Structure 1
Protein backbone atom coordinates (compact mmCIF):
# COMPACT_ATOMS: atom_id res chain seq x y z
CA UNK A 1 0.00 0.00 0.00
CA UNK A 2 1.43 3.38 -0.95
CA UNK A 3 1.12 6.60 0.98
CA UNK A 4 1.51 10.24 0.10
CA UNK A 5 4.81 10.20 2.00
CA UNK A 6 6.18 7.43 -0.19
CA UNK A 7 7.26 5.32 2.79
CA UNK A 8 6.39 1.64 3.05
CA UNK A 9 6.52 -0.51 6.16
CA UNK A 10 8.85 -3.49 5.63
CA UNK A 11 7.36 -6.97 5.86
CA UNK A 12 9.67 -7.70 8.80
CA UNK A 13 8.36 -4.66 10.71
CA UNK A 14 4.75 -5.51 9.82
CA UNK A 15 5.18 -9.12 10.98
CA UNK A 16 6.82 -8.01 14.25
CA UNK A 17 3.91 -5.62 14.91
CA UNK A 18 1.34 -8.33 14.21
CA UNK A 19 3.12 -10.66 16.63
CA UNK A 20 3.33 -7.94 19.33
CA UNK A 21 -0.35 -7.05 18.86
CA UNK A 22 -1.60 -10.61 19.23
CA UNK A 23 0.78 -11.79 21.97
CA UNK A 24 -0.56 -9.20 24.45
CA UNK A 25 2.60 -9.52 26.51
CA UNK A 26 3.22 -6.47 28.69
CA UNK A 27 6.64 -4.94 28.11
CA UNK A 28 7.12 -5.99 24.48
CA UNK A 29 8.47 -3.22 22.28
CA UNK A 30 9.52 -2.48 18.71
CA UNK A 31 11.86 0.25 17.50
CA UNK A 32 11.22 1.22 13.87
CA UNK A 33 13.41 3.56 11.84
CA UNK A 34 12.96 5.41 8.55
CA UNK A 35 15.37 4.45 5.77
CA UNK A 36 15.60 7.36 3.32
CA UNK A 37 17.46 5.30 0.72
CA UNK A 38 14.64 2.82 0.26
CA UNK A 39 11.74 4.89 1.68
CA UNK A 40 11.07 2.00 4.03
CA UNK A 41 10.19 1.80 7.69
CA UNK A 42 12.44 -0.93 9.06
CA UNK A 43 12.56 -2.93 12.27
CA UNK A 44 15.62 -1.74 14.20
CA UNK A 45 15.10 -3.69 17.40
CA UNK A 46 12.51 -5.68 19.29
CA UNK A 47 12.45 -7.11 22.76
CA UNK A 48 10.97 -6.78 26.19
CA UNK A 49 11.55 -4.23 28.96
CA UNK A 50 10.23 -3.80 32.49
CA UNK A 51 9.15 -0.20 31.99
CA UNK A 52 9.86 3.29 30.75
CA UNK A 53 13.27 3.73 32.35
CA UNK A 54 14.60 0.56 30.73
CA UNK A 55 13.10 1.47 27.35
CA UNK A 56 14.66 4.93 27.60
CA UNK A 57 18.04 3.18 27.62
CA UNK A 58 17.17 1.48 24.31
CA UNK A 59 16.56 4.65 22.30
CA UNK A 60 19.57 6.57 21.10
CA UNK A 61 19.88 10.30 21.57
CA UNK A 62 19.97 11.98 18.20
CA UNK A 63 18.19 9.14 16.35
CA UNK A 64 14.47 9.55 15.65
CA UNK A 65 12.43 6.35 15.84
CA UNK A 66 8.93 5.00 16.07
CA UNK A 67 8.53 3.23 19.41
CA UNK A 68 5.69 0.73 19.67
CA UNK A 69 5.13 -0.53 23.20
CA UNK A 70 2.64 -3.05 24.56
CA UNK A 71 1.52 -2.14 28.07
CA UNK A 72 -0.58 -5.31 28.35
CA UNK A 73 -3.99 -3.71 27.96
CA UNK A 74 -3.02 -1.03 25.43
CA UNK A 75 -0.42 -0.45 22.76
CA UNK A 76 1.34 2.91 22.50
CA UNK A 77 2.83 4.48 19.37
CA UNK A 78 5.48 7.03 20.24
CA UNK A 79 7.33 9.14 17.71
CA UNK A 80 10.73 9.64 19.34
CA UNK A 81 12.33 12.73 17.82
CA UNK A 82 15.01 14.09 20.15
CA UNK A 83 15.90 17.76 19.91
CA UNK A 84 19.52 16.95 19.02
CA UNK A 85 18.58 14.82 15.98
CA UNK A 86 19.63 16.00 12.51
CA UNK A 87 16.84 17.87 10.69
CA UNK A 88 16.79 15.34 7.82
CA UNK A 89 16.21 12.46 10.26
CA UNK A 90 13.43 14.38 12.03
CA UNK A 91 11.75 15.03 8.67
CA UNK A 92 12.01 11.33 7.77
CA UNK A 93 10.41 10.13 10.96
CA UNK A 94 7.65 12.75 10.66
CA UNK A 95 7.02 11.86 7.01
CA UNK A 96 6.74 8.18 7.89
CA UNK A 97 3.96 8.59 10.50
CA UNK A 98 1.23 8.38 7.86
CA UNK A 99 2.68 5.16 6.43
CA UNK A 100 2.85 3.52 9.84
CA UNK A 101 -0.68 4.56 10.75
CA UNK A 102 -2.07 3.33 7.41
CA UNK A 103 -0.12 0.09 7.21
CA UNK A 104 -0.13 -1.19 10.80
CA UNK A 105 -3.76 -1.94 11.53
CA UNK A 106 -5.06 -0.96 14.95
CA UNK A 107 -2.09 1.23 15.88
CA UNK A 108 -3.21 4.17 18.03
CA UNK A 109 -2.48 7.78 17.11
CA UNK A 110 1.12 8.66 17.87
CA UNK A 111 2.38 10.69 20.76
CA UNK A 112 5.32 12.91 19.75
CA UNK A 113 8.12 12.96 22.32
CA UNK A 114 11.54 14.60 22.34
CA UNK A 115 12.98 13.91 25.81
CA UNK A 116 13.83 10.80 27.76
CA UNK A 117 11.70 11.89 30.72
CA UNK A 118 8.67 12.30 28.44
CA UNK A 119 9.30 8.79 27.09
CA UNK A 120 9.38 7.28 30.59
CA UNK A 121 6.13 9.05 31.48
CA UNK A 122 4.38 7.97 28.28
CA UNK A 123 5.39 4.31 28.73
CA UNK A 124 4.36 4.28 32.38
CA UNK A 125 0.94 5.72 31.41
CA UNK A 126 0.29 2.70 29.15
CA UNK A 127 1.04 0.12 31.83
Structure 2
Protein backbone atom coordinates (compact mmCIF):
# COMPACT_ATOMS: atom_id res chain seq x y z
CA UNK A 1 0.00 0.00 0.00
CA UNK A 2 2.45 2.47 -1.23
CA UNK A 3 -0.10 5.21 -1.82
CA UNK A 4 -0.91 5.45 1.93
CA UNK A 5 2.74 5.90 2.80
CA UNK A 6 3.06 8.74 0.31
CA UNK A 7 0.09 10.47 1.92
CA UNK A 8 1.64 10.07 5.38
CA UNK A 9 4.79 11.78 4.13
CA UNK A 10 2.80 14.65 2.63
CA UNK A 11 0.74 15.26 5.79
CA UNK A 12 3.65 14.88 8.15
CA UNK A 13 3.81 11.58 9.95
CA UNK A 14 1.22 8.99 10.83
CA UNK A 15 -2.34 10.02 11.23
CA UNK A 16 -4.39 8.58 14.06
CA UNK A 17 -8.08 8.41 14.75
CA UNK A 18 -9.65 10.51 17.51
CA UNK A 19 -10.61 8.82 20.80
CA UNK A 20 -14.09 7.39 21.09
CA UNK A 21 -16.53 9.08 23.49
CA UNK A 22 -17.34 7.36 26.76
CA UNK A 23 -20.40 5.13 26.76
CA UNK A 24 -23.26 6.06 29.11
CA UNK A 25 -23.58 3.99 32.25
CA UNK A 26 -26.31 1.38 32.21
CA UNK A 27 -29.18 1.66 34.63
CA UNK A 28 -30.42 -1.24 36.69
CA UNK A 29 -33.52 -3.20 35.72
CA UNK A 30 -35.59 -1.59 38.44
CA UNK A 31 -35.29 1.81 36.81
CA UNK A 32 -36.51 0.56 33.42
CA UNK A 33 -40.24 0.84 32.62
CA UNK A 34 -42.24 -2.34 33.15
CA UNK A 35 -44.31 -3.78 30.33
CA UNK A 36 -47.59 -5.56 31.09
CA UNK A 37 -47.37 -9.33 31.27
CA UNK A 38 -49.24 -11.01 28.44
CA UNK A 39 -51.09 -14.26 28.83
CA UNK A 40 -49.18 -17.21 27.44
CA UNK A 41 -52.30 -19.30 26.89
CA UNK A 42 -54.46 -19.10 23.82
CA UNK A 43 -58.15 -18.44 24.22
CA UNK A 44 -60.62 -21.27 23.61
CA UNK A 45 -62.05 -21.37 20.09
CA UNK A 46 -65.51 -19.91 19.68
CA UNK A 47 -68.11 -22.21 18.20
CA UNK A 48 -69.52 -20.87 14.95
CA UNK A 49 -72.77 -21.91 13.41
CA UNK A 50 -72.66 -23.00 9.78
CA UNK A 51 -75.54 -22.06 7.51
CA UNK A 52 -77.19 -24.77 5.51
CA UNK A 53 -76.43 -24.04 1.88
CA UNK A 54 -78.71 -25.06 -0.95
CA UNK A 55 -77.16 -27.46 -3.46
CA UNK A 56 -76.29 -26.09 -6.88
CA UNK A 57 -78.90 -26.82 -9.48
CA UNK A 58 -77.97 -29.18 -12.26
CA UNK A 59 -76.56 -27.84 -15.48
CA UNK A 60 -79.25 -29.53 -17.56
CA UNK A 61 -81.78 -26.80 -16.87
CA UNK A 62 -81.88 -23.88 -19.26
CA UNK A 63 -82.20 -20.36 -18.02
CA UNK A 64 -82.53 -17.03 -19.74
CA UNK A 65 -79.48 -14.80 -19.81
CA UNK A 66 -79.82 -11.11 -20.62
CA UNK A 67 -76.89 -9.30 -22.17
CA UNK A 68 -76.33 -5.94 -23.78
CA UNK A 69 -77.14 -5.90 -27.53
CA UNK A 70 -73.90 -4.08 -28.34
CA UNK A 71 -71.83 -6.70 -26.52
CA UNK A 72 -73.76 -9.46 -28.29
CA UNK A 73 -73.06 -7.90 -31.68
CA UNK A 74 -69.39 -7.46 -30.76
CA UNK A 75 -69.15 -11.12 -29.77
CA UNK A 76 -70.89 -12.27 -32.95
CA UNK A 77 -68.57 -10.08 -35.04
CA UNK A 78 -65.55 -11.55 -33.29
CA UNK A 79 -66.81 -15.08 -33.91
CA UNK A 80 -67.35 -14.31 -37.61
CA UNK A 81 -63.83 -12.87 -37.84
CA UNK A 82 -62.42 -16.00 -36.22
CA UNK A 83 -64.32 -18.23 -38.65
CA UNK A 84 -62.99 -16.18 -41.57
CA UNK A 85 -59.41 -16.52 -40.29
CA UNK A 86 -59.90 -20.26 -39.80
CA UNK A 87 -61.14 -20.57 -43.39
CA UNK A 88 -58.11 -18.61 -44.64
CA UNK A 89 -55.77 -20.91 -42.71
CA UNK A 90 -57.54 -23.97 -44.10
CA UNK A 91 -57.14 -22.65 -47.66
CA UNK A 92 -53.46 -21.86 -47.04
CA UNK A 93 -52.82 -25.38 -45.72
CA UNK A 94 -54.62 -26.90 -48.72
CA UNK A 95 -52.46 -24.80 -51.06
CA UNK A 96 -49.30 -25.86 -49.20
CA UNK A 97 -50.25 -29.54 -49.49
CA UNK A 98 -50.90 -29.09 -53.23
CA UNK A 99 -47.49 -27.47 -53.67
CA UNK A 100 -45.81 -30.27 -51.70
CA UNK A 101 -47.56 -32.86 -53.89
CA UNK A 102 -46.34 -31.12 -57.06
CA UNK A 103 -42.82 -30.89 -55.63
CA UNK A 104 -42.87 -34.60 -54.83
CA UNK A 105 -43.93 -35.37 -58.42
CA UNK A 106 -41.16 -33.15 -59.82
CA UNK A 107 -38.52 -34.75 -57.56
CA UNK A 108 -39.75 -38.22 -58.56
CA UNK A 109 -39.38 -37.22 -62.23
CA UNK A 110 -35.86 -35.98 -61.58
CA UNK A 111 -34.99 -39.25 -59.85
CA UNK A 112 -36.31 -41.19 -62.87
CA UNK A 113 -34.23 -39.05 -65.25
CA UNK A 114 -31.17 -39.52 -63.07
CA UNK A 115 -31.62 -43.30 -63.12
CA UNK A 116 -31.95 -43.24 -66.93
CA UNK A 117 -28.78 -41.17 -67.26
CA UNK A 118 -26.92 -43.52 -64.92
CA UNK A 119 -28.09 -46.55 -66.91
CA UNK A 120 -27.04 -44.96 -70.22
CA UNK A 121 -23.68 -43.92 -68.75
CA UNK A 122 -23.14 -47.47 -67.48
CA UNK A 123 -24.11 -48.86 -70.90
CA UNK A 124 -21.70 -46.53 -72.72
CA UNK A 125 -18.96 -47.37 -70.22
CA UNK A 126 -19.48 -51.10 -70.68
CA UNK A 127 -19.39 -50.74 -74.51
CA UNK A 128 -16.16 -48.75 -74.31
CA UNK A 129 -14.60 -51.38 -72.06
CA UNK A 130 -15.46 -54.15 -74.54
CA UNK A 131 -13.96 -52.25 -77.48
CA UNK A 132 -10.67 -51.78 -75.64
CA UNK A 133 -10.38 -55.54 -75.18
CA UNK A 134 -10.57 -56.14 -78.92
Bucket of the pairwise TM-score, normalised by the shorter protein: under 0.3
The structure carrying a bigger strand percent of its residues is 1
Q: Choose between structure 1 and 2 for higher RCO, CA contacts under 8 A separated by at least 6 residues.
A: 1
Larger Rg: 2
Task: Give the TM-score normalised by the residue count of structure 1.
Answer: 0.17
Task: Give the TM-score normalised by the residue count of structure 2.
Answer: 0.16
The structure carrying a bigger helix percent of its residues is 2
